[in-house]
């Protein structure tokens, strides 16, 4: 199996809603639940999103007309530089030129629609970017000003301050807000540094704190933020929430949006939609407003969501729910569809005769005796809620396809299809239909049928394909099984996917692999780099470099080389690069999919290891970096002087 396979809105809807009230009462306890709402520039506080009241009003109107307000999205949070560049003659914050009606009028507009409003300031004399005044030595005045306007939320950046001073400055503002008598939620935005606010922000009086310093716009950064959350679940809970990043939807496709929202919900993360781009004209209300996802995000059972399994490209996360159910997220961060296996045991559910299962994105309800899993698409997640309860429903099934780690482009390949009935009632009349990938054809029929698949049984069949000519595209074979259950006719779909095994060079003679072309590479963050890492930084392990260079990787990573059975030895020095001071990872050398050598887990500061691996007869050499199953944030690994002897 493949362990390492390996707004800025120009136009908004016109408001037609009747104002809900003249004012919206603030939350009696700030931060009692994770806040939901919209914002601008949450990934950057550098005044990149300067606009005015019309856009804020249009965004508020869209929350109402889209139904998101009624779903729980209540905050409208202004970006940096909403304020004028200088304070007024009395030292007070005033609105910038984009707000000709004034802030009190804007607050009234937002409140009248049953929403809440927030602003941004900072711990220093200036906010991030230096273009707007911060609240240093003006905490009480600014708190009184915000409360007088009717503010409900304050984002507080940590730029323009000395690291050791930040907790005290946050505490000073929290105390000032409290003295106003108006409950105002306080968020700490550790935008440019790693001050670990989860360690001190709650004690300093904040209710929300950023746990990832980079924007989480695209899928790669979102996955990087998820990695940063590993081990932080103990700091999350009513009155104080880890904020892994906002949700900027125009960077993500539908599957990526659903994966991120499901994972953020399991983390009880604030769901703040960042309308930072001109492309963000219409909120994806069907996804953001999913009541099942919001229920997960805002439910607190006393035990936070956490990761229970990590195989490199696939992960399983779970979260207990207050009604005795649990949520499981089967997450595939890879670029190809992959099978993921889990069970109710991973969710910590008690033994029971049966379990009710609800897919929170499709709404499909099934039952299982305990096993869960199936094929999950690229950059996607299956989000399930499971109750220990006997129900009358269709049995849950699992459809997977096993392929080699890579497919030769000019030789036949065999795929093994498995269809498993994990429910308590039979499946009948199962029919398999396959679609050949482009450039391939089946050696036999592209379909098959079977009779009854009993509870707990697996129907397994193998098919062989050969390339019509030398294939050039990744191998992707759609698989569908239609069948009948006690609840009627159903179907299950999957995709069998694997990269092509390309050999762009002749078999090697002696030489450094960092000077040779590879067949393929996959990397956790950015590309694998030759003689550098993390966008051009020198390869350095414990302060030492290597004159022969090497390969810079970020876990989970795999680089494949074609040896053609012509070589005898592979050697390299490996270790955690100094770019990852908190990195934990492991190195593995594989020949034709078989592990030949492994370092075990290594941490930053550990002595480098020298590997000497016999590779006689190996066709394909794979150099893999795993993330030690604790998330891959900061996991930069170096292959120094990677040398092949042929």
The Cα 185–Cα 31 span in angstroms is: 6
- pLDDT tier at 313, thresholds 50, 70, 90: confident
Q: Does the pLDDT value for residue 162 go beyond 60? A: yes
Please give the order of strands across the beta sheet that includes 241-243.
241-243, 208-210, 185-189, 153-157, 116-122, 75-77, 36-39, 271-274
Ramachandran category for residue 519: left, alpha or beta (phi over 0 → left; psi -120 to 50 → alpha): alpha
Residues 541 and 628 in one domain: yes
Residues 487 and 417 in one domain: yes
The enclosing domain of 401 has a CATH number of 2.60.40.10
- pLDDT tier at 43, thresholds 50, 70, 90: low
The enclosing domain of 187 has a CATH number of 3.20.20.70
Determine the pLDDT at residue 354: 96
Q: Where are the alpha helices (DSSP H) in 66-211?
A: 68-71, 103-111, 139-149, 166-179
> What's the average model confidence in pLDDT over 156-183?
90
- pLDDT tier at 77, thresholds 50, 70, 90: very high
Determine the pLDDT at residue 596: 97
The Cα 127–Cα 81 span in angstroms is: 8
Residues 372 and 425 in one domain: no
Determine the pLDDT at residue 510: 86
The boundaries of the domain holding residue 351 are 307-388
Residues 573 and 443 in one domain: no
Determine the pLDDT at residue 24: 43
Residues 522 and 408 in one domain: no
Per-residue pLDDT tens over the stretch 389-430: 989 999 999 999 999 878 888 899 999 999 999 999 999 999
Residues 409 and 333 in one domain: no
Residue with tokens 């029929």: 445
Determine the pLDDT at residue 282: 84
- pLDDT tier at 45, thresholds 50, 70, 90: low
Q: Lowest-pLDDT range, 188-192, 288-292, 370-374, 483-487? A: 188-192
The Cα 555–Cα 469 span in angstroms is: 35
Ramachandran category for residue 107: left, alpha or beta (phi over 0 → left; psi -120 to 50 → alpha): alpha
Of 25-29, 460-464, 520-524, 552-556, highest mean pLDDT: 460-464
Determine the pLDDT at residue 473: 85
Residues 364 and 421 in one domain: no
Q: Does the pLDDT value for residue 456 go beyond 70? A: yes
Residue 13 belongs to some domain of the structure: no
Residue 199 belongs to some domain of the structure: yes
Q: Which of 278, 304, 330 is the last residue of a domain?
A: 304
Residue with tokens 């939901």: 36
Inter-axis angle of helices 139-149 and 103-111, nearest 10: 50
The enclosing domain of 596 has a CATH number of 2.60.120.1060
The Cα 142–Cα 484 span in angstroms is: 65
The Cα 242–Cα 397 span in angstroms is: 35
Q: How many domains does the chain have?
A: 4
Determine the pLDDT at residue 277: 64
Per-residue pLDDT tens over the stretch 352-380: 999 999 999 999 999 999 999 999 999 99
The enclosing domain of 361 has a CATH number of 2.60.40.1180
> What's the average model confidence in pLDDT over 42-68?
86
| HEC assignment per residue over 318-364 | EEECCCCCEEEEEEECCCCCEEEEEECCCCCCCCCCCEEEEECCCCC
The Cα 9–Cα 190 span in angstroms is: 27
> What's the average model confidence in pLDDT over 157-183?
90
Q: Does the pLDDT value for residue 207 go beyond 50? A: yes
Q: Does the pLDDT value for residue 551 go beyond 50? A: yes
Residue 42 belongs to some domain of the structure: yes
Alpha-carbon dihedral 137, 138, 144, 145, rounded to 10 degrees: -170
Residues 354 and 440 in one domain: no
What does the DSSP assignment read for 467-505?
A: ESSS--S-EEEEEEEEEEETTEEEEEEEEEEE-B----S
The Cα 338–Cα 126 span in angstroms is: 48
Per-residue pLDDT tens over the stretch 118-142: 999 999 999 988 889 999 999 999 9
Cis peptide before 236 (omega within 30 of 0): no
144 contacts: CB under 8 Å, gap ≥ 6 = 176, 180
Q: Does the pLDDT value for residue 13 go beyond 50? A: no
Residue 204 belongs to some domain of the structure: yes
Determine the pLDDT at residue 159: 85
Q: Which of 388, 420, 438 is the last residue of a domain?
A: 388
Residues 54 and 184 in one domain: yes
Residue 6 belongs to some domain of the structure: no
Indicate the pTM of the whole model. 0.83
Q: Does the pLDDT value for residue 349 go beyond 80? A: yes
Q: Is 635 helix (H, G, I), strand (E, B) or coil?
A: coil
Residues 359 and 419 in one domain: no
Q: Which helix (H) or strand (E) holds 61?
A: helix 53-65
- pLDDT tier at 467, thresholds 50, 70, 90: very high
Residue 412 belongs to some domain of the structure: yes
The Cα 348–Cα 484 span in angstroms is: 31
Comparing 195 with 291, the larger pLDDT belongs to 291
Residues 292 and 339 in one domain: no
> What's the average model confidence in pLDDT over 587-609?
95
- pLDDT tier at 472, thresholds 50, 70, 90: confident
- Closest alpha carbon to 635 in 563, 567, 554: 554
Residues 579 and 436 in one domain: no
Determine the pLDDT at residue 504: 56
- pLDDT tier at 15, thresholds 50, 70, 90: very low
Residue 22 belongs to some domain of the structure: no
- pLDDT tier at 450, thresholds 50, 70, 90: very high
Determine the pLDDT at residue 49: 72
Q: Which of 261, 287, 304 is the last residue of a domain?
A: 304
Determine the pLDDT at residue 572: 97
Per-residue pLDDT tens over the stretch 247-279: 888 888 999 999 999 999 999 999 999 887 655
Comparing 453 with 165, the larger pLDDT belongs to 453
Determine the pLDDT at residue 23: 38
> What's the average model confidence in pLDDT over 214-219?
74
Residue 5 belongs to some domain of the structure: no
Determine the pLDDT at residue 9: 31
Q: Does the pLDDT value for residue 20 go beyond 60? A: no
C-alpha pair distances (Å), 598 with each of 389, 586, 601, 624:
44, 7, 9, 9
Mean pLDDT over the full length of the chain: 89
């Amino acid at each position: 199996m493949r362990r390492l396979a390996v707004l800025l809105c120009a136009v908004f809807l016109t408001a037609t809603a009747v104002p809900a009230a003249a004012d919206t009462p603030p939350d009696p306890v700030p931060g009692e639940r994770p806040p939901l709402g919209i914002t601008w520039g949450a990934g950057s506080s550098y005044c990149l999103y300067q606009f005015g009241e019309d856009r804020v009003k249009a965004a508020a109107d869209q929350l109402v007309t889209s139904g998101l307000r009624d779903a729980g999205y209540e905050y409208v949070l202004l970006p940096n530089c909403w304020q004028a560049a200088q304070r007024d003659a009395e030292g007070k914050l005033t609105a910038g030129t984009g707000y000709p009606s004034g802030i009190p009028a804007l607050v009234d507009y937002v409140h009248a629609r049953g929403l809440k409003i927030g602003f941004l300031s900072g711990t220093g004399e200036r906010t991030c970017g230096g273009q707007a005044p911060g609240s240093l030595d003006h905490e009480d005045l600014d708190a009184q000003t915000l409360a007088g306007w009717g503010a409900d939320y304050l984002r507080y950046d940590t730029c323009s301050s000395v690291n050791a001073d930040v907790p005290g400055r946050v505490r000073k503002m929290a105390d000032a807000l409290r003295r106003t008598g108006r409950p105002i939620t306080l968020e700490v935005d550790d935008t440019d540094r790693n001050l670990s606010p989860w360690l001190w922000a709650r004690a300093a009086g904040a209710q929300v704190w950023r746990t990832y310093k980079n924007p989480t716009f695209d899928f790669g950064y979102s996955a990087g933020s998820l990695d940063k959350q590993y081990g932080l679940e103990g700091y999350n809970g009513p009155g104080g929430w880890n904020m892994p990043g906002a949700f900027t939807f125009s960077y993500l496709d539908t599957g990526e949006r659903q994966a991120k929202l499901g994972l953020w919900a399991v983390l009880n993360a604030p769901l703040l939609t960042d309308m930072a781009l001109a492309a963000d004209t219409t909120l994806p209300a069907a996804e953001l407003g999913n009541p099942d996802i919001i229920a997960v995000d805002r439910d607190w059972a006393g035990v936070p969501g956490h990761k229970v399994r990590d195989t490199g490209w696939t992960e399983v996360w779970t979260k207990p729910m207050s009604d005795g159910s649990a949520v499981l997220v089967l997450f595939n961060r890879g670029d190809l569809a992959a099978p993921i296996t889990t069970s109710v045991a991973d969710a910590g559910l008690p033994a029971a005769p049966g379990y009710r299962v609800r897919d929170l994105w499709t709404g499909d309800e099934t039952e299982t005796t305990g096993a869960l899993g199936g094929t999950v698409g690229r950059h996607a997640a299956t989000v399930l809620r499971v109750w220990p309860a006997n129900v009358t429903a269709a049995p849950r099934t699992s459809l997977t396809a096993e392929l080699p780690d890579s497919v030769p482009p000019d030789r036949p390949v065999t795929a093994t299809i498995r269809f498993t009935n994990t429910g308590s009632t039979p499946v009948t009349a199962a029919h398999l239909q396959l679609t050949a990938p482009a450039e391939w054809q089946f050696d036999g029929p592209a379909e098959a049928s079977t009779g009854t698949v009993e509870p707990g049984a697996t129907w397994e069949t193998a098919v062989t394909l050969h390339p019509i000519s030398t294939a050039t595209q990744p191998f992707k074979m759609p698989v569908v099984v239609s069948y009948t259950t006690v609840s009627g006719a159903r179907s299950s779909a999957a995709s069998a996917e694997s990269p092509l095994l390309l050999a762009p060079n002749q078999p090697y003679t002696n030489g450094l692999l960092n000077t040779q072309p590879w067949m393929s590479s996959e990397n956790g963050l950015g590309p694998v780099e030759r003689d550098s890492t993390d966008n051009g930084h020198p390869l350095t392990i414990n302060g030492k470099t290597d004159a022969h260079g090497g390969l810079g990787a970020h876990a989970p990573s795999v680089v494949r080389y074609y040896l053609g059975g012509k070589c005898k030895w592979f050697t390299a020095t490996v270790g955690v690069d100094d770019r990852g001071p908190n990195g934990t990872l492991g190195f593995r050398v594989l020949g034709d999919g078989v592990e030949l050598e492994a370092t075990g887990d290594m941490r930053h500061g550990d002595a480098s290891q020298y590997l000497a691996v016999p590779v006689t007869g190996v066709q394909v050499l794979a150099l893999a970096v795993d993330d030690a199953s604790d998330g891959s944030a900061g996991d930069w690994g170096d292959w120094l002087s990677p040398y092949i002897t042929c």
